[in-house]
Amino acid sequence: MKKITYFYLQSCPYCKRAETILQELLALPEYREITVEKVEESRRRDYARQFDYYYVPCFYVDGVKVHEGEAGKEDIIKVLESAL
């Protein structure tokens, strides 16, 4: 299984929505084994700067950007599916 890196900002309303959806989906049997590294951008700036993105939430799967910006349930399902 591939690793997901999820960049977010604690104060971002789009990130809060994405986090809720992500937690809901990760509780499902088909996604439980997926590893998600959560990176709060303002707390880990040096690490975040190593990645090429502008908007949060932003998802990388094995180092490849798969989604950037506002994310709905279908978007996050695609991210999780790409990690399987």
Give the model confidence (pLDDT) of 20-74 as tens digits.
Answer: 999 999 999 999 999 999 999 999 999 999 999 999 999 999 999 999 999 999 9
- Please state, in angstroms and rounded to a whole number, the distance separating the CA atoms of residues 8 and 40: 5
State how far Cα 12 lies from the chain centre.
13
Is-above-0.75 flag for pTM? yes
The residue extents of the domains of the chain are: 4-72
Q: Break the chain down into helix, strand, coil percent, rounded to 5.
A: 35, 25, 45
Q: Please state which CATH class domain 4-72 belongs to.
A: alpha beta
Pairing of strands 4-8, 36-40: parallel
pLDDT of residue 11: 96
